[in-house]
Chains A and B, each alone.
Chain A
Amino acid sequence: MSGDHHMGLLAVRGLHKQFGGVHAVSNVSFDVARGTIKAIIGPNGAGKTTIFNLLTGLDVPTGGSVFLEGQDITSYPPYKITNLGLARTFQNIRIFNDMTVLENVMVGRHTRSKSEFLASILKLPWVLAEEREIEEQALHLLEQVGLEDKAHELARNLTYGHQRRLEIARALATQPKALLLDEPAAGLNTSETAQLALTIEGVRQSGITVLLIDHRMGLVMNISDEVLVLNFGQVIAEGTPKEIQSNEQVIEAYLGKEDDYSPHN
């Protein structure tokens, strides 16, 4: 971050989450500057996904605050946070299986469109116009992730890699200011991962800030501007990929003394 006193697009302050006696996240603070790609890494169980859940309102923090463009969004319901500009994908893919690929992405447009029950039942003319617009935008996004020829297939019939891409397209459909990707490369082969890196780079170039969780160090170190390292729910290091790679605490957290942690590759 630059040295000025402004917060980043996304600012996390003293975030805390306790599950029973377990401190899943303790006193985590960081900023994500607009237009950058920031990665959160750490061994399994370090609290990465919990942080995503706290940022997107799926879990309520036991302490601390989250700011989006300076606005306190802590404990907002997920749909409101999405509406304000944070969209996410899930570690265990959560697409709408029995809906078509196109419909999945169209759901992402929900927050940027407005026809409600009565207008939809009565099929008012502006509703039809809006519907066409939603479909066009969704098709455009499918093109962007290379799924346009699958538009009318059921989402459940897509391959794993395609489902991951669909999730990204669906999240982009919400027109986010920041996109949160939870292990987007998990289960992808090398060429799919390379493709993913291009997609993420493209997302950033379109002006969307990216916050990324992943275990693939190759991917993370290549595309990130900044890396945040967590261990046991706490920040143990933060810096550029170069700084992180030579940080002793990080190396120890990953390799350990008894070698009981191993990043999946």
Chain B
Amino acid sequence: MPKKTNLLGLVAIIAAVTAFGLYSQDIYLIQVGTYAGIYSIVAIGLNLLLGTAGQISLGHSAFFAVGAYTSTILLLYTPLPFTFTIFASAIVAGVFGLIIGYIALRLKGHYLAMATLAFGLIVYSLLREIQFLDGGAGHVGIPSLSVFGWDLSDYKASYYFVWAIAAVVYLLTLSLLHSRVGRALKAIREDDIAANAMGVPVASYKIRVFTLSAIYAGVAGAIYASYLGSVIFNSFDAFVSVNFLMMVVLGGLGSIPGAVLGAVILTFLPELGRAWEDYRLTSYGLLLILLVIFLPKGLVDLFAWFNRAEPRSIRPKPDTAGRVVEN
């Protein structure tokens, strides 16, 4: 996706977030909007891993959880402020990402999906067991969001703070994408053998992009814990990982605005349709199938349709041997 489109996407997101913040007086909707911002951070990071570098993770809820618990424990048992603990969350989640990234090096496709899924389940089970040992209530009474002593507990203050962080993450990711490193990551996605032969240290880059993606999830987790005020193990089950993955796929693999769009839609949709809660999994499955059939490149492809200079059909298509045939 060209850089201009990504910048335009950011402008559109900032405008929409501000407009929503200014006009909506509904506390509940603003809260949902805040969660959408938190999940956007995770989705941008997962998109970098999956959409850009082509490495799947079905265990991102674990990195999110690690971030949430790290910050929570530090806030509850040490005098450290959130301004510090959010960095601690980033680091601890990053270390987990590094380890998983290293293990994942030898795995591809389905195998990588299974391994990361297992990692997510292990972290989930550990949190559950620890919580039962601890009395079973999870952690409550986490101090609300504040940075440098500036209280952000007001619902709109939290909302703007979260989206400001999301915007910064968006911009940083954008510059990474359009750099030597971003190109190398894309090359790994396209053909890791060729990338290696062209001088890209594939193994080290895979580990590093896993780490970075985990850091994003960790930061989001820290914000999530302080915003919600409590953490409990079942907020981090495998379905959460699948949900993160859906956000990225729905929005459009490889597109940063797509990741945010996916996060916003998949955060609001279930909330607006609480009455259909029972059909949630079914409708997700259906949505995924429809998506793969009609919009394999995600929702952002809808916008691309309008911008396409030439109709698709006259473009040369690769034949089964992967060669391009001119028509």
Q: Does A106 reach chain B (CB closer than 8 Å)?
A: yes
Contact of A94 among B193, B212, B324 (CB under 8 A): B193
Contact of A96 among B194, B212, B315, B318 (CB under 8 A): B194
Q: Which of B180, B190, B201, B318 has the most chain A CB atoms inside 10 A of its CB? A: B180
Chain B binder among A37-45, A157-165, A206-214: A157-165
B323 and A56 contact, CB distance less than 8 A: no
Complex CA gap A58/B181 in Å reads 22
Q: Which residues from chain A contact B263 at a C-beta distance below 8 Å?
A: none
A88 CB, nearest partner CB in chain B, Å: 6
Q: Does A127 reach chain B (CB closer than 8 Å)?
A: yes
- Say what secondary structure dominates the interface of chain B: helix
Residue of A whose beta carbon sits closest to that of B172: A121
B324 and A159 contact, CB distance less than 8 A: yes
Contact of B175 among A106, A122, A170 (CB under 8 A): A122
Contact of A56 among B179, B195, B197, B316 (CB under 8 A): B197
A126 CB, nearest partner CB in chain B, Å: 12
B324 and A157 contact, CB distance less than 8 A: yes
B200 and A107 contact, CB distance less than 8 A: yes
B190 and A96 contact, CB distance less than 8 A: yes
Q: Does A243 reach chain B (CB closer than 8 Å)?
A: no
The 8 A CB mask of B176-195 against A (1 = contact, 0 = none) is 10011111101100110111
Complex CA gap A171/B176 in Å reads 24
Q: Does A6 reach chain B (CB closer than 8 Å)?
A: no
Q: How large is the interface on A (under 10, 10 to 19, 20 to 34, 35 or more residues)?
A: 35 or more
Contact of B182 among A120, A163, A171, A187 (CB under 8 A): A120
Q: Does B326 reach chain A (CB closer than 8 Å)?
A: yes
Q: Does B18 reach chain A (CB closer than 8 Å)?
A: no
The total of interchain contacts (Cβ-Cβ below 8 angstroms) comes to: 120
- Evaluate whether A163 and B180 lie within 8 angstroms (CB atoms) in the complex, with A156-B318, A157-B315, A157-B316 already known: no
B193 and A120 contact, CB distance less than 8 A: no
Q: Which residues from chain B contact A82 at a C-beta distance below 8 Å?
A: 197-199
Q: Which residues from chain A contact B324 at a C-beta distance below 8 Å?
A: 156-160, 163
Contact of B186 among A56, A78, A96, A163 (CB under 8 A): A96
A174 and B181 contact, CB distance less than 8 A: no
B178 CB, nearest partner CB in chain A, Å: 8
Complex CA gap A112/B200 in Å reads 11
A78 and B176 contact, CB distance less than 8 A: no
Complex CA gap A94/B324 in Å reads 13
B128 CB, nearest partner CB in chain A, Å: 34
Q: Which residues from chain B contact A116 at a C-beta distance below 8 Å?
A: 181
Complex CA gap A77/B267 in Å reads 44
Beyond contacts A107-B200, A108-B199, A120-B176: 18 other A-B pairs, Cβ-Cβ < 8 A, are: A58-B197, A79-B201, A79-B202, A82-B198, A87-B198, A95-B191, A96-B190, A96-B191, A98-B190, A110-B200, A117-B176, A121-B176, A123-B179, A156-B318, A159-B316, A159-B326, A163-B324, A171-B198
A-B interface, 8 closest residue pairs, ranked by CB to CB distance from nearest: A111-B199, A120-B179, A96-B190, A94-B194, A82-B199, A78-B196, A123-B175, A120-B181
